Amino acid sequence: MPGAAVPVRESSRTIEVEDLVALVRNYNPRSDGELIRRAFEFGRRMHEGQLRRSGEPYFTHPVAVAAILTEMRLDDASIVTALLHDTIEDTKAKWDDVSRAFGPQIAELVNGVTKLTNLQLSSSEAKEAENVRKLLIAMSKDLRVILVKLADRLHNMRTIKSLAPEKQAAKARETMEIYAPLAGRMGMQWMREELEDLAFRILNPEARASIIRRFITLQRETGEVIPKITADIRTELEKGGIEADVYGRAKKPYSIWRKMQEKDLAFSRLSDIYGFRIICAEVPDCYRILGVIHQRWRAVPGRFKDHISQPKTNGYRSIHTTVSGRDGKRVEVQIRTRQMHEVAEAGVAAHWSYRDGVRAQNPFAVDPGRWIASLTERLDVEEDHDEFLEHVKLEMYSDQVFCFTPKGDVIQLPRGATPLDFAYAVHTDVGDACVSAKVDGIRVPLWTRLKNGQSVEVITAEGQRPQATWIDIVVTGRAKASIRRSLREEDRDRFVKLGRELARVAFENVGRRVSEKALTTAARTFGLPEATELLARLGSAEISARAVVEAIYPELALKPVEEVDARRPVAGLSPGQPFLRAECCQPVPGERIVGIKYPGRGVIVHAIDCPALADVEDQADRWVDLRWHAGLHPPVHTVSLRLTISNAVGVLGRMCSLIGEQKANISDLHFIDKKPDYYRLIVDVDLRDAEHLHMVMTALEAESDVAEIERIRDLNRKP
């Protein structure tokens, strides 16, 4: 940001209180230095005796976080929050102590950061959705909470080498998946790039080192390209009588690596690895500069974006164009005004920025309240937080395309969106009833990827309903959520019945009984209106039965479930009494069972609903009351599944991979019918229990090339 405080990087010199006060007063001469001094002393006293993993005094961390915030020219409340952000969590200080000393506003900010720190965003999927939801709710109350948290994460990543390797990897993954995209979505591109590069250094050091080595080789071969191209651009601007600043740089290693992966290119074939920014005074100058650049160098087709006329939702405005520069090298040029550049560097944080003691009045800065509302507008109406998480992640990671309705209205979508996404962006009813689409007047398949500037006409039909295969076509969270909701409603009764059985099994496995009261309590924990909705989610595999149990009995989440001996998984047998699972019904743990005595063979274990039991219905002396032992059963219970799959390249391999991803083993597989367009086969899968079976069948059922799947109950296999 032009005129911002000098960036504070890690150094051996400790930042003292007067250094920090001076950093703030560089941009805010009216800063309350005494408030910062009191907070500095309070934090230092509370953390006294505490050390970081590196051996440094712990308080060096909050001070470094505060110094990072001075780079964004944030207000005194944010700086004080940074100094105190770990006091409520890690010291004897309480909310009341902070409130009395610094006021309720700062106490609430500190408490908000504490809550975010306690969220394990990369934990299990069930918890991740709820935690990201809480993160966004905290942001909606006061955006400064997330600004402090991002600075906290940035400093932790800069000093991550003192952690154990496995903790470094976990923190780096969380940074790459959550914090870096969030910083980018907020428009803080410099922070996103640094977080990504720091995480990349941990997660793939060989790839990063390789890219840096290639850069060095390239510089040796071509010389210093950046100063030469910068000079060329300045010369052309001087000829045109335009005053502007020109900056050039090589792109970050992670940015280059990601482009290599996305486009499947070798480094030698990668073109635009250099980027240049031209910063001018007024908006008309931006378009004059664009004309100068395109007159001097040839524009690369399809690589032009005008974010001045179509700003991003976080306030970002700039013209992007890629041209063939010196020696035919492609370079990306960004053109913007100084005020646009401030927002491009600070993003949504520009709203809080100070200059000369007053809040900076930047016309391009986005109101944080409106921005958060745009990000979380579905939170109040969308009861499914998992789908909300998917929506938020997609939106945070996405680049964007702009398409037009036949009336000329602009629809903004993430890159890779399809006409189906467009239809759902117009209205859910339009998406549900979509049968085809025209792009620029030509009828196209629904899976067509849309491009910038295309006009899309959605064709609907009465009675049309969403298809299960649409989930694989759409990319936006809104479309996926709408399709799943529609499919869920159609299968609701079946899912509720199945969910109730899965809940019974899960509760019995931990020695508890399921009740309506327990289910209602669990539903509230997941933010669902009633127990029936929870059961529907259970039955459709959107919530795991284990997560439901842990929601009511959190202490069970901390205790490892006792493993059941595979040799004696059934309770109710006499000591040493032999037994076998019935081949006709293949019962698995979690299903209700009964034993039937067979002379010379011991007890055969049947599912309680096995048709074969009709043969011994009047022989009560042969019946044995059995149940499965509670606990975690090993995956040794074989179940036969009959599948019908497409006869296409890779389908069988994909199906086997899906089963493996569910931690299940294929013990046998044979084909029973082969046709030019489909195969029918029987797969024997070794499973833990009924929930494991449900997970495998659901994963296969969701695969678009699996036309039919059923569990085999074969009376010809009777004992």
Candidate from 81-90, 167-176, 179-188 with smallest mean pLDDT: 179-188
Predicted local confidence at residue 558, as pLDDT:
47
Predicted local confidence at residue 243, as pLDDT:
92
CA distance 131 to 717: 49
Among the three residues 489, 516, 533, which one is the final residue of a domain in this structure?
489
Note whether 378 and 496 are same-domain residues.
no
Note whether 122 and 27 are same-domain residues.
yes
Task: With respect to residue 67, please indicate whether it lies within any of the assigned structural domains.
Answer: yes
Task: With respect to residue 421, please indicate whether it lies within any of the assigned structural domains.
Answer: yes
| 679: CATH | 3.30.70.260
Identify the band that residue 138 occupies on the pLDDT scale cut at 50, 70 and 90.
Answer: low
Is 550 labeled as catalytic in the residue annotation?
A: no
| Neighbouring-strand partners of residue 643 | 681, 709
Most confident of 8-22, 214-228, 489-503, 649-663: 649-663
Q: Which residues contact 272 (CB under 8 A, 6 or more apart)?
A: 251, 303, 322, 330, 331, 332
Q: Which residues contact 575 (CB under 8 A, 6 or more apart)?
A: none
Task: With respect to residue 575, please indicate whether it lies within any of the assigned structural domains.
Answer: yes
**Whether residue 34 has pLDDT greater than 90:** yes
Q: Which domain holds residue 27?
A: 17-203
CA distance 582 to 599: 15
If one compares 546 and 436, the residue with the highest pLDDT of the two is 436
**Whether residue 421 has pLDDT greater than 50:** yes
CA distance 582 to 719: 7
Predicted local confidence at residue 392, as pLDDT:
55
The CB-side HSE value for 636 (13 A sphere, CA atoms) comes to 12
| Neighbouring-strand partners of residue 637 | 687
Note whether 46 and 169 are same-domain residues.
yes
Identify the band that residue 494 occupies on the pLDDT scale cut at 50, 70 and 90.
Answer: confident
Predicted local confidence at residue 2, as pLDDT:
37
Question: What percent of the chain stands above pLDDT 90?
Answer: 21
**Whether residue 148 has pLDDT greater than 70:** yes
| 232: CATH | 3.30.460.10
Structure-token pair, residue 220:
């040796």
| 410: CATH | 3.10.20.30
Strands 706-711 and 637-646: antiparallel
**Whether residue 111 has pLDDT greater than 50:** yes
Identify the band that residue 374 occupies on the pLDDT scale cut at 50, 70 and 90.
Answer: low
**Whether residue 167 has pLDDT greater than 50:** yes
CA distance 464 to 484: 15
Average pLDDT, the chain: 80
Task: With respect to residue 208, please indicate whether it lies within any of the assigned structural domains.
Answer: no
Task: With respect to residue 364, please indicate whether it lies within any of the assigned structural domains.
Answer: no
CA distance 411 to 398: 15
Q: Which residues contact 193 (CB under 8 A, 6 or more apart)?
A: 252, 254, 255
Among the three residues 558, 585, 617, which one is the final residue of a domain in this structure?
558
Helix, strand, coil content of the chain in percent (nearest 5) = 50, 20, 30
Identify the band that residue 7 occupies on the pLDDT scale cut at 50, 70 and 90.
Answer: very low
| 177: CATH | 1.10.3210.10
Note whether 523 and 459 are same-domain residues.
no
Predicted local confidence at residue 82, as pLDDT:
92
Note whether 310 and 241 are same-domain residues.
yes
Let me know: does 360 contact 73? Beta carbons within 8 Å.
yes
Strands 627-628 and 623-625: unpaired
Determine which one of 89, 97, 383, 686 is catalytic: 89
**Whether residue 346 has pLDDT greater than 60:** yes
Q: What is the mean pLDDT of residues 236-252?
A: 88
Note whether 80 and 157 are same-domain residues.
yes
Candidate from 179-188, 306-315, 345-354, 420-429 with smallest mean pLDDT: 345-354
Note whether 454 and 510 are same-domain residues.
no
Alpha-carbon torsion (159, 162, 165, 170), positive or negative:
negative
Note whether 474 and 501 are same-domain residues.
no
Predicted local confidence at residue 381, as pLDDT:
46
Task: With respect to residue 12, please indicate whether it lies within any of the assigned structural domains.
Answer: no
Identify the band that residue 424 occupies on the pLDDT scale cut at 50, 70 and 90.
Answer: very high
Residue 634 three-state SS: coil
Note whether 29 and 54 are same-domain residues.
yes
Note whether 503 and 485 are same-domain residues.
no
Q: What is the mean pLDDT of residues 685-700?
A: 85
Buried b (16+ CB within 10 A) or exposed e, 219-232: eeeeeebbeebbeb
Question: What percent of the chain stands above pLDDT 70?
Answer: 81
Task: With respect to residue 211, please indicate whether it lies within any of the assigned structural domains.
Answer: no
Task: With respect to residue 192, please indicate whether it lies within any of the assigned structural domains.
Answer: yes
Strands 434-439 and 593-598: unpaired
**Whether residue 8 has pLDDT greater than 60:** no
Predicted local confidence at residue 506, as pLDDT:
80
Q: What is the mean pLDDT of residues 347-360?
A: 61
The CB-side HSE value for 694 (13 A sphere, CA atoms) comes to 26
Note whether 266 and 285 are same-domain residues.
yes
Q: What total of structural domains would you count in the chain?
A: 6
If one compares 365 and 273, the residue with the highest pLDDT of the two is 273
Q: Where are the alpha helices (DSSP H) in 85-143?
A: 87-90, 95-102, 104-118, 125-141
Q: What is the mean pLDDT of residues 561-583?
A: 86
Q: Give 654-714 as a 3 state SS string.
A: HHHHHHHHCCCEEEEEEEEEECCCEEEEEEEEEECCHHHHHHHHHHHHHCCCEEEEEECCC
**Whether residue 10 has pLDDT greater than 50:** no
The CB-side HSE value for 77 (13 A sphere, CA atoms) comes to 16
Candidate from 373-387, 419-433, 464-478 with smallest mean pLDDT: 373-387
Determine which one of 16, 56, 76, 90 is catalytic: 90
Predicted local confidence at residue 125, as pLDDT:
46
Note whether 316 and 400 are same-domain residues.
no
Closest by CA to 36, choosing from 99, 101, 97, is 101
Among the three residues 472, 489, 506, which one is the final residue of a domain in this structure?
489
Candidate from 35-44, 379-388, 522-531 with smallest mean pLDDT: 379-388
CA distance 704 to 30: 63
Q: In terms of residues, how long is the chain? A: 719
Is 89 labeled as catalytic in the residue annotation?
A: yes
Candidate from 156-170, 253-267, 480-494 with smallest mean pLDDT: 253-267
- Residue 477: is it exposed, middle or buried by C-beta count within 10 angstroms (0-12/13-18/19+)? buried
